[in-house]
Structure formats: C-alpha cells, structure tokens
Amino acid sequence: MANNKHTIILMQPTPNRMTRTFMDYGSIGQAMEALCAMYEKKLRDVNPTVQNLTYDISDLFNFIDGLADLSALVYDYTIQAYLPCDRQWIKTKLHRHIRCLARDHGRLY
C-alpha cells in the first residue's frame, strides 16, 4: 500500500541550525498526523485558555511555511531507497490527510 511507506520528517523550526531534528514514522499518514499534532500543540501553547481550538488548512500551511526548513524522506520499496520530498509535497499530503479525516470523521477543519 502506498501509504505504508516509512517516512522520515527532516525539520528545522528556526533559522538556528542547532534546531535541526528528524522524526520517523511507519507511514506517510502517521507523519502527516504528527505534523498536524505539532501545529495543534503550538496552538494550545499560544492559546492556553481556549478550550476548543479550530484551524483551517491555510493556518496549517502558514505554520508549515514558517518553518525554516522542512522535507521528508519516503522509503520506496521498489528501489529499496529513500526518496526526498519537498515542502510542497508535504503540503499536498497534509491537504489529502485533512480531507480524509474530515470525510471519515465528519469533522470540520
């Protein structure tokens, strides 16, 4: 299945190179869920008194665009290697992920 590809997110939140980090996930979907959770945590940190936080895809994309660097490495079993994916690829996958969540759970984002 295309979604069950090991995915490594490479991220640098600020211009400081010391903030570089990586996170690895068993699938593209898990990686996209983690990026959404990271944004939601930031929203909770900035708005600690708000009970029900809401956002739309443009808010999430602004968060993604605000990171100093972001890319992914996705394992391709056919060539047994990781393929690099850029920020735009991640945004496309995030958009698809959010749409699937909204469809499957009837939630509005």
Kindly list the domain boundaries of the chain, sorted by start residue: 7-104
Residue 102 has a pLDDT of 77
Token digits for 72? 């992914």
CATH of domain 7-104: 3.30.2260.10
The helix-helix angle for 57-66 and 28-46 (nearest 10°) equals 90
- Residues facing residue 53 across a β-bridge: none
Residue 109 has pLDDT above 50, yes or no: no
CA distances from 38 to 2, 15, 43, 52, 67 (A): 24, 18, 9, 16, 12
Nearest-angstrom CA–CA distance, 38 and 33: 9
Residue 105 has pLDDT above 70, yes or no: no
Residue 74 has pLDDT above 60, yes or no: yes
> Using 50, 70 and 90 to split pLDDT, how confident is the model at 106?
low
